[in-house]
Structure 1
Amino acid sequence: MAKKTCFERAIFFSWYCSIGDCKYCYMSTQQKPGNGNNGKIARRTTESLLAELILCKKLGWKIGFVSGGHNAYKTEDFRELLKKMKAISGEKFWVNIGPLTRTELLEFKPYTEGVVGSIETINPEIHDFVCPSKPVAPFEKMFVEAKKLGLKRAMTIILGLGETLDDYGILSKFIRKHSITKIHFYGLNPQKGTIFEGSKPPTAGYQAEWIRKTRKEFPKMDIQCGIWLDRPGYVSVLLKAGADSISKFPALKRFGSKEAKMIETEAKKAGRKFMGTLTKMPSIDVDKEIKKLKFDDELKGMIKVKLEGYIRMMQR
C-alpha cells in the first residue's frame, strides 16, 4: 500500500504585523504600525475564514496552522475565533501567532493542538540580522510553558537566508531541547523591495537535504515541505527525501491549474497516494453545509455568501 501525502492549508487571518522588520518578509515593505494601520483593517472577516475552513474540509485538506500578523487580535477575540473554527472542523489547531504567554496558552488550550514557533533560521548570527525584532528566546520560553501544559511544539524554517547545511547540528540540538514534533521547511520566496529581491531561491536538492537529514535523525517527525507556485516540480524530490505533506501552494486561487495537477502527479511519482484534491471540485451543497452550523442566522448568512464566492472563483 502506497504511503499517503496531502496538502496542508495554513489559515491566515491577517496580513498585519506589529514587528514588520523581518528582512525576507513583504510586510517589512508595508506601512508600519502607528501610521494609520491599526491591524484591524488588515484582518480578514470571520465569515471568510469560516467559509475557507468549510472548503478545506470538503476538499480533504489538513490545516497546517492558524496564523496571521503578530498582535492582530486581542486574546479574547482570537479565542472566540478558534472556538468557532473548532465548531466547524471538530479538531484542534496548531497556532502560529508569535510567542505566547502562559496565560494566553491557557486561554487557547481548549482549541489548540500545539504551538508553532516561527524560528525561520537556526543560525544565530543570520537570525539576528534578518529578524532583528523577533528574537528566538521568547519562542523558547513559550515552548517550555507549552510542554508543561501538554501542548505539542512545532517550528518553521526558511531555507535560503544564508544558512548552510553545516548549521544542521544547531537545528538538531534545538529540536531535542524543545521536543519538537513537527517542522515546516520552506524555501525563500524573494520579495520585491526586500534585500532578497533578485536572490535565487534554494534548489530542490538543497531543501531535500535538510528534510533528509531531519528524517534520518528524527524518524517520527512530522515534516512539511513548503513549495511556491513556481516550484511544483520540487514535490517528488521533497517527498522522497522524507516530507510528509505539502504546503504554501496558493490552492484556492490556483485550484485545478497546471501547477495543481503537477503537484498531484509529482506525489504519485514519489510513490505516494495523494489524499484530498487540488484539481477536482466536489459537489458541495452549500445550503446543507450552512444548515449544519450552530451559529446565529446573521453569521450563517454571511458565511454562505463567502462560501459561494469561493466556489465560483475556483470553478472559473
Structure 2
Amino acid sequence: MDATTAAVMEESFDSLLERAQAVYRQHFPMECCFERAVFFSWGCTIGDCQFCYMSNQPADKKPLETKRSRASIFAEFLLAKKCGWDIGFFTGGIGVFTPDEIEFMLRVAHEITCERIWLSIGPVPKSLLVRYQPYIRGIVGSTETVNPKLHAKVCPSKPLAPYERMFVDAACLGLQKAMTFIVGLGETRDDVQILIDFIRKYRIDKIHVYGLIPVAGTLYEGACIPTAEEQAWWIAQLRVAFPSLDIQCGIWSNRADRIPLLLKAGANSISKLQAVKLFGTETAKEMVGRCEEAGRRFRGTLTALPEADWDAEVARLSIDDSLKVEVKRKLWVYLKGMRKQGNTSPL
C-alpha cells in the first residue's frame, strides 16, 4: 500500500468525509441526477455470479427467453430522455442478443437520447467496439470486485482478464471506460489499494459503487447488508484518490436515508430506484429530498411528468411503422401507470 493511501486509511471517518466533500466541490457542480440502467433481458448465459439474481432463475427458463421486447426498451429510453434521467448504461445478460440486434438497439437509443450510450454487455471484442462506436460513449466492465481470490469465488465464469483487454481496446479507440464495484462481497479495507491501482492502470473514467443486496437462493442470501458508512468509506477513498472520477452510487428504494451521506462522501449521482414503478410516490419524493438534504440540486424529475407530445416523439424515430405502433402502445402503458402513482402533475 502506498504512503498516501495508508495515511488516508488511518484518518477518522469524519475527517475523510470532510476531505472528500471538499474535493468534490472543487471539481463538480453541486447537483445530483438519477441514472437509469436500461435492461434488455433478465437472464444471462453465464448465470453463476454468486450474488446475482440471474444465477437463481428457474432451470427451465432459458436466458434467450428473458429478452424484453424492443418496443418496451425504446419506450423506456423515451421516458428517461423526457424525464431528464441520465442513462447509466444499456445492459442485460451476457450472450442474450446478437451483435446485429445490439447494434440496432444502440442506434435507436442514440437517436432517442441524442447522446452516446454507456454499454455493459460483458467483455466486448475490439471488432464489435468498432461497430458500436458511433453510438456508444464508453463501455462498462461488470468487474464487481478486483480482489483476485474473491473474484474467482464470486464470479467463477466471468474472469477479469477479458474486461482488462476490453479496457485496453477501448482506450485505443478513444472510448471511455467504466467499472462496477459491490461493497459487501467480502472485500476488506486493505483491498482499497488493489482497487485504486486497477483504476489507475486502466484509466477508468467512471465507477458504479453498489451496496450488496442479498438475494434469496444465492451464496449471499444470509449476508449482512453493508452499512451506509461502509459504502460511503469506499466512495470517499475513491473521491480523494481520483478527484475527477465520475462516481455513481447504487441506492435501493429502502436505503434512501443513506443518500445524503453517500453524496457527501463524493458520489456524483444515484441509481437503482425502480423509477417507473415508483414515479411520483412518496419514495420518489424522499429520494429527491434526500439529495437536496446533501446540498445538491436535483436535475431531472422523479415526481412530475413533463409535458410532451409522446406520439410525435415515437413518430419521428427511424424504425418501421409496425414497431412504432408497439412502442406507442408500451409507452402509454408506462405513462398510465406513472400517472396513477401519487401527484404527477405536468412540470
Provide TM-score, normalisation by structure 2. Answer: 0.88
Tell me which residue corresponds to 2:114: 90
Structure 1 position 294, deviation (Å): 2.7
Structure 1 position 107, deviation (Å): 1.3
Structure 1 position 283, deviation (Å): 2.5
Tell me which residue corresponds to 1:251: 275
Pairwise mapping of residues 1-316 of structure 1 onto structure 2 (< 5 A)? 3-32=30-59, 37=62, 39-316=63-340
Structure 1 position 288, deviation (Å): 2.3
Structure 1 distance, partners of 2:80, 2:135, is 18
Q: Which amino acid aligns with 2:230?
A: Y
Structure number with the higher helix fraction is: 2
Structure 1 distance, partners of 2:293, 2:225, is 23
Structure 1 distance, partners of 2:170, 2:318, is 30
Structure 1 position 230, deviation (Å): 1.1
Structure 1 position 307, deviation (Å): 0.6
Structure 1 distance, partners of 2:227, 2:302, is 24
Structure 1 window deviating more from structure 2 (276-285 vs 82-91): it is 276-285
Q: Which amino acid aligns with 1:26?
A: Y
Q: Which amino acid aligns with 1:171?
A: L
Kindly provide the CA deviation profile for residues 231-289 of structure 1, in whole angstroms up to 9, marking residues without a partner as x: 01111110010000001111111112222111111111100000011111222322222
- Relative distance call for 1:164 and 1:287 in structure 2 (3 A) is same
Structure 1 position 311, deviation (Å): 0.4
- Relative distance call for 1:287 and 1:36 in structure 2 (3 A) is closer
Q: Unmatched 5+ residue regions in structure 1? A: none
Structure 1 position 7, deviation (Å): 0.1
Structure 2 distance, partners of 1:282, 1:200, is 39
Structure 1 distance, partners of 2:319, 2:149, is 48
Structure 2 distance, partners of 1:43, 1:131, is 22
Structure 2 distance, partners of 1:77, 1:288, is 25
Q: Which amino acid aligns with 2:95?
A: N
Name the SS for the 2:110 alignment partner.
helix
Name the SS for the 2:166 alignment partner.
helix
Structure 1 distance, partners of 2:296, 2:97, is 38
Structure 1 window deviating more from structure 2 (290-299 vs 5-14): it is 290-299
Q: Which amino acid aligns with 2:202?
A: H
Structure 1 position 290, deviation (Å): 2.2
Structure 2 distance, partners of 1:87, 1:40, is 26
Query: Runs (4+) of structure 1 moved beyond 3 Å?
Result: none
Structure 1 window deviating more from structure 2 (292-301 vs 9-18): it is 292-301
Structure 1 position 79, deviation (Å): 0.7
Structure 1 position 36, deviation (Å): 6.1
Structure 1 distance, partners of 2:264, 2:292, is 11
Query: Given that residues 129 and 170 in structure 2 are in contact (C-alpha distance below 8 angstroms), is that contact kept between their aligned partners in structure 1?
Result: yes
Name the SS for the 2:49 alignment partner.
coil
Query: Given that residues 47 and 54 in structure 2 are in contact (C-alpha distance below 8 angstroms), is that contact kept between their aligned partners in structure 1?
Result: yes
Structure 2 distance, partners of 1:101, 1:194, is 30
Q: How many residues align?
A: 313
Structure 1 distance, partners of 2:40, 2:61, is 19
